[in-house]
Structure 1
């Protein structure tokens, strides 16, 4: 009488089957990790504007979003900083162009506002802000930008200026106030794109801390940064 054939569980899947299972498991882990990270990213975003926790030596506003500059001017008028840097002004924008959009702040624009026309992305915003803060001897800054952009801005600024205290002031756009982000496809796409750039910035900064500095070209490809200029009059 022949005995039953021995079943080896290690042969349950052919080699290709094991490889396929490993790839699927890896993608599943990455997907879950990305989802958890996205939730953590969203938890950093303010839903309402709040008065800064305290005053600072200076104020920097990163251009590119609705009402960022006007909100920064209000902080300057309120005495929250001694000077304001508007970083990322388009080269064709003159001070008079900004003045026309802020008619109630002419005296402040003339005495206490500096324009940076060199920055073209968040990383160069940080570099120009560092130069400005060092020239002025500032040790604390209020950072003004949109709420969805704030996490990445703080990553770049804190890396460029580890010795400067950063106080975030998140600007909340009208769309964010009017409807939940998950009901708008455009807002969801914006958040997903910003989350990817935020993760890439975190990776680049951590590699730089280990002495592995990426070239500007590679860094721009990773973060999705573009050299497109942003107008300041908004």
Structure 2
């Protein structure tokens, strides 16, 4: 009986968390105009065309000095991406970098961190799908703890975020994304509970 009660409470907490997560996604678009940052990163995935085009519009508006498109398909050419982004040729040629290494959100974060370090950027606008943004911000925040990040979520074609529960595909996408988000949140929580050097201990170790 006690086990059933605990399972029931856990299910209630999980369900409340899912509804809160979905509400966060629902209310994230249309995204407000972001402040200017050093750079812009567009993460590829479902609805990549819209994500890249949105990032390009921000670049054209002077919201960043350069843009990274992270997780580009290795079979895609620069011209393919330019056509998708509907970019002005001159701006695209000078200020858009393509990353081909990332295969998932963790990879996007690592690829972006390398790009940010190479460019010595302190601030970044993150462009990705509305449902993907919470998880992307967790991963990027972990990889770039000293970089100011602004979220710029983009609506996903074919996904009715405000009625996600009405179709099996929408419900599956939201639940799956929520579970992935929880997994990363749990990982970061566990890592954050690990042992940390006290400032004096770290200083002593460095001096030795």
Q: Given the two structures, how large is their TM-score scaled by the length of structure 1? A: 0.77
The question of 1:64 aligning with 2:74 is answered: no
Task: Kindly provide the CA deviation profile for residues 99-124 of structure 1, in whole angstroms up to 9, marking residues without a partner as x.
Answer: 23344422222100111111111111
Aligned length: 192
Q: CA RMSD in A?
A: 1.7
Which residue is 1:138 aligned to? 121
In 2, are the aligned partners of 1:61 and 1:72 still within 8 Å (CA)?
A: yes
Which segment drifts farther, 62-71 or 41-50?
Answer: 41-50
Runs of 4+ in 1 over 3 A off after TM superposition: 174-179
Counterpart for residue 29 of structure 2: 48
**Alpha carbons 1:52, 1:167 under 8 Å: kept:** no
Post-superposition CA distance 1:30-52 (Å, at most 9, x none): 10110111122123213532233
Alignment of 1:77 with 2:57, yes or no, is no
CA apart distance, 1:150: 0.4
Residue among 192, 205, 210 paired with 2:188: 205
Q: Is the 8 A contact 1:65 1:145 kept in 2?
A: no
In structure 2, C-alpha distance between the alignment counterparts of 1:153 and 1:102, rounded to whole Å? 21
- Is 56-65 or 176-185 further displaced after alignment? 176-185
Q: CA deviation at 1:175?
A: 3.2
- Give 1:193 deviation, angstroms: 0.3
Q: 1:29 to 1:179 in 2, by over 3 A?
A: closer
2-side partners of 1:60 and 1:125: how far apart?
A: 9
What residue is the counterpart of 2:199 in the other structure?
A: none
**Structure 2: 5+ residue stretches without partners:** 196-208
Partner of 1:180: 163
Q: For structure 1, list consecutive stretches of 5 or more residues without a partner in the other structure.
A: 1-20, 213-234
Distance (whole Å) between structure 1 residues aligned to residue 142 and residue 172 of structure 2: 27
Q: What secondary structure does 2:68 align onto?
A: strand
- How far does residue 194 in structure 1 lie from its aligned partner after superposition? 0.1
User: Match for residue 26 of structure 1?
Assistant: 6
CA distance in 2, matches of 1:134, 1:100: 28
Greater gyration radius: 1
Please report the TM-score for the alignment, with normalisation by the length of structure 2: 0.86
Q: Distance in 1 between matches of 2:69 and 2:86?
A: 17
